[in-house]
A = this chain, B = another copy of it.
Amino acid sequence: MRDPEDTLRQHDLPVTAQRVSVLRAVSHHPHATADMLAEEVRAELGSISRQSVYNVLNVLTDKGIIRRIQPAESAALYEDRIGDNHHHLVCRTCGKTEDVCCAVGEAPCLTAQSHHGFKIDEAEVIYWGTCPACQKKKR
């Protein structure tokens, strides 16, 4: 991602230390929870309130600067990569999350026959399975 400050300005968001730092944290740690990001920001800024982390993440998500994914049984995760229609692979055992390129064609997933009169704007795909490490452990 480009410079955090530029990104904020481009979206008409006042630049604050907290926002810059959260944005950087998301960039460096894809698939992190709000809590993990808060830790990260604290390491950089010294401190940040829990509320601010949520504020910032919500604003950024609303503006489409970052993406929120929320697998079952886990807190929301945030990531940088947007617009490239990739999906996620989540380990049922340890929760580890990986990116996956879209399995079928390019924007295949939005092709749900526009059912029930809904106006669909996004398709979220989560592949559930077991990661290599956990496969080993189980045996």
Q: Which residues of A contact B (CB under 8 A)?
A: 68-73, 76, 87, 89, 91-92, 98, 100-101, 103-104, 108-113, 115-132, 135
Contacts and interface: CB of A to CB of B under 8 A. Distances in A.
A55 to B, nearest CB: 16
A120 B116 contact: no
Given A123-B128, A130-B119, A131-B117, A89 B112 contact: yes
Contacts of A131: 116-118
A72 B69 contact: yes
Contacts of A122: 127-129
Contacts of A127: 110, 112, 118, 120, 122-124
